[in-house]
Structure 1
Amino acid sequence: MFPRIEKLCRKLETERDSISAERKQILEKIASAIDSQIENTGKAQLIYICTHNSRRSHFGQIWANVAAEFYGMSSVIEAFSGGTEVTALHPNSVTALKTMGFEVRTTTTEANPRYNVKFGKQRSTTCFSKVFDNPENPDQDFLAIMTCSHADENCPFIPGALSRFASPYEDPKLFDTTQLQDKKYLERAMEIGREVSFMVSQLASK
């Protein structure tokens, strides 16, 4: 893991008091479901889902894979993302990732490019916008984590999901083209990182 990302993970550990009791209850329920899936199948697969798969769901995917690596659980936890429609990973999301210390490289050139997001010399995850049932995502026995209220309300059934959880975050899209956009994207990325770190730490402490 890159030293800067490892340092950020340790910083997130010191910020857990800022997570509300209500949010911790949601995260602990997800952690319990992950634990059960690992016990039953040997591995847990998560799909973070929001409408456009361009912002919050990608932050969830990336941070879940980072936290799994940080807590020594990368062999049993794997995270993906998807949406209810296809757009592209938003450039402001890419900026936030680079600001945090991730190495982000475009690997294709179409309107919806693929990105390789590295958090270590040999550790990375692939990000591009796709529907949640894209063939590159698991199609059975996964946990669906809904990161936006719109997707949660408009997609009441997720085929193949063992369980689904509503874990919404404010959309940083609200601040696009404003003076606050970079700050708010970074805040949202860090908030999701903080909560995902807490969630995975509940498993590592067992």
Structure 2
Amino acid sequence: MTNKLKVLFLCTGNSCRSQMAEGWAHHLKGDVIEAYSAGIETHGLDQRAVTVMAEAGVDISGHRSKHIDEFTHSRVDYVITVCDHAHETCPFFPGNGRVFHVGFADPPHMARALAKMGATEEEQLDCYRRIRDEIKAFVETMPESLNKKEG
């Protein structure tokens, strides 16, 4: 068997979207993808992300928020930016993987906006669920979708 594809999911704070992507990659594609996640900052693990992933049968409660600096000397095949801010500020990985962008909306930002309008906790969690499901749909297409983007 060939080596697993090494994929680093990158977002701003490594608290939500990149954590969900890493969790889905382990859960759905662990036989072909070695997944990691990091942020250009560290914001800690978002507990709502943990909650909605657990609802889908994926445990990310043991994850921790990691800074991109932990991976600058690691060999990765792909750095997948999952938010626009990370995509715009993604560091260069000399001799390392290709950068691939797939942007997802920011659940904490959406939930805060809803909270200001009086939304319930359940309504705020629905933002996380929607993005969780969008990330799952993307991960399900891997690694084939990454190969199609090359060239």
Identity %: 31
TM norm structure 2: 0.79
**Aligned 1:121-200 pairs, distance under 5 A:** 127-134=63-70, 139-159=74-94, 161-177=96-112, 178=115, 179=119, 180-200=123-143
Say if 2:9 is the partner of 1:53: no
Contact kept, 8 Å, 1:53 with 1:82, in 2: the verdict is yes
What CA distance in whole angstroms lies between the structure 1 residues aligned with 2:88 and 2:34? 25
TM norm structure 1: 0.59
Which amino acid in the other structure matches residue 59 of structure 1? M
Which amino acid in the other structure matches residue 86 of structure 1? T
What CA distance in whole angstroms lies between the structure 1 residues aligned with 2:6 and 2:73? 7
Contact kept, 8 Å, 1:50 with 1:151, in 2: the verdict is yes
Partner of 1:119: none
Which amino acid in the other structure matches residue 51 of structure 1? T
What CA distance in whole angstroms lies between the structure 2 residues aligned with 1:68 and 1:94? 19
**Aligned 1:25-174 pairs, distance under 5 A:** 42-69=3-30, 74=31, 76-103=32-59, 115-116=61-62, 127-134=63-70, 139-159=74-94, 161-174=96-109
What CA distance in whole angstroms lies between the structure 2 residues aligned with 1:138 and 1:58? 21
Shift of the 81–103 alpha-carbon distance from structure 1 to 2, 3 Å rule, reads closer
Cα deviation for residue 164 of structure 1 reads 0.6
4+ runs of 1 displaced by more than 4 Å?
200-203
What CA distance in whole angstroms lies between the structure 2 residues aligned with 1:88 and 1:201? 31
Any gaps of 5 or more consecutive residues in structure 1? 1-37, 105-114, 117-126
Contact kept, 8 Å, 2:24 with 2:136, in 1: the verdict is yes
Any gaps of 5 or more consecutive residues in structure 2? 147-151
Cα deviation for residue 138 of structure 1 reads 6.9
Where 1:78 maps in the other structure, the secondary structure is strand
Contact kept, 8 Å, 1:44 with 1:78, in 2: the verdict is yes
What CA distance in whole angstroms lies between the structure 2 residues aligned with 1:50 and 1:176? 18
What CA distance in whole angstroms lies between the structure 1 residues aligned with 2:128 and 2:100? 23
Count of residue correspondences: 138
Contact kept, 8 Å, 1:141 with 1:160, in 2: the verdict is no
Shift of the 63–187 alpha-carbon distance from structure 1 to 2, 3 Å rule, reads same
Contact kept, 8 Å, 2:10 with 2:79, in 1: the verdict is yes
